[in-house]
């Protein structure tokens, strides 16, 4: 609410002309919408934050695992997939880390990133039986792809939950 400087009537904050005396009130300062940044952060329930950090941790662990996979640490994942695992593993670990520190810019791309994770999870699961000979590695990647897709779903949820306030425009 604002007050008309001439007749002192209380007016709705969106008012441009006082309906009581006709004074132009467009220049009257409006109450600034409450910044919720740090308050919203504190208001998040402990379980939500715990879940959020847990999912971020899984993302970082997956990223590191996929990078090592690309490097051939667990046997060759096939020439075609090698680079995908290396590059994507690094990105995954980086995004997980930045989210953990609640960097606002990463929140803005996190939902798109979750979609990429699901798509690549499918690619990993489908390609593993075709490109990998080592049975242990093949199953490892299938499980990894599944974990990636599930954690992407949780990340999508938690990013929405925890971004309230930290992203306020
Ligand atoms: Zn007035």
Compute the mean pLDDT over every residue in the chain, rounded to the nearest whole number: 87
How far does the centroid of ligand 1 lie from the alpha carbon of residue 23, in Å? 5
How far does the centroid of ligand 1 lie from the alpha carbon of residue 8, in Å? 6
Per-residue pLDDT at 103 exceeds 90: no
How far does the centroid of ligand 1 lie from the alpha carbon of residue 35, in Å? 29
Contact present, 13 and 2 (Cβ < 8 Å): yes
The mean pLDDT of 90-117, rounded to a whole number, is 91
Question: For the chain, how many helices (H) and strands (E)?
Answer: 5, 2
User: In which band, very low, low, confident or very high, does the pLDDT at 121 lie, cut at 50, 70 and 90?
Assistant: very high
How far does the centroid of ligand 1 lie from the alpha carbon of residue 3, in Å? 8
pLDDT in tens, 130-145: 888 888 889 999 999 9
Per-residue pLDDT, 169: 38
Phi/psi for 75 (5° steps) reads: 105, 160
User: In which band, very low, low, confident or very high, does the pLDDT at 167 lie, cut at 50, 70 and 90?
Assistant: very low
Per-residue pLDDT, 102: 85
Domain ranges of the chain: 1-32, 37-163
8 CB-contact burial (10 Å; exposed 0-12 / middle 13-18 / buried 19+): exposed
How far does the centroid of ligand 1 lie from the alpha carbon of residue 1, in Å? 13
How far does the centroid of ligand 1 lie from the alpha carbon of residue 146, in Å? 64
* Three-class DSSP category at 147: helix
Neighbours of ion ligand 1 (CB under 5 A): 4, 6-7, 18, 20-21, 23
Q: What does the alpha-carbon distance between residue 47 and residue 70 come to, in Å, rounded to a whole number? A: 34
Q: Among 106, 122, 119, 112, which Cα is nearest to 52's?
A: 106
């Amino acid at each position: 609410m604002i007050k008309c400087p001439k007749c002192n009537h209380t007016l709705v904050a969106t008012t441009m002309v006082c309906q009581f005396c006709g004074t132009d009130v467009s220049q009257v300062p409006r109450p600034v919408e409450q910044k919720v940044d740090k308050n919203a952060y504190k208001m998040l329930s402990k379980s939500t934050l715990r879940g959020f950090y847990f999912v971020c941790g899984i993302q970082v662990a997956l990223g590191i695992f996929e990078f090592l996979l690309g490097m051939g640490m667990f046997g060759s994942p096939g020439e075609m997939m090698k680079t995908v695992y290396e590059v994507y593993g690094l990105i995954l670990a980086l995004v997980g880390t930045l989210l953990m520190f609640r960097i606002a810019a990463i929140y803005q791309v996190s939902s798109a990133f979750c979609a990429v994770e699901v798509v690549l999870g499918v690619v990993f699961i489908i390609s593993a039986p075709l490109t990998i000979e080592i049975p242990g590695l093949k199953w490892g990647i299938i499980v990894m792809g599944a974990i990636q897709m599930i954690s992407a779903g949780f990340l999508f949820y938690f990013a929405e939950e925890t971004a309230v306030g930290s992203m306020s425009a």
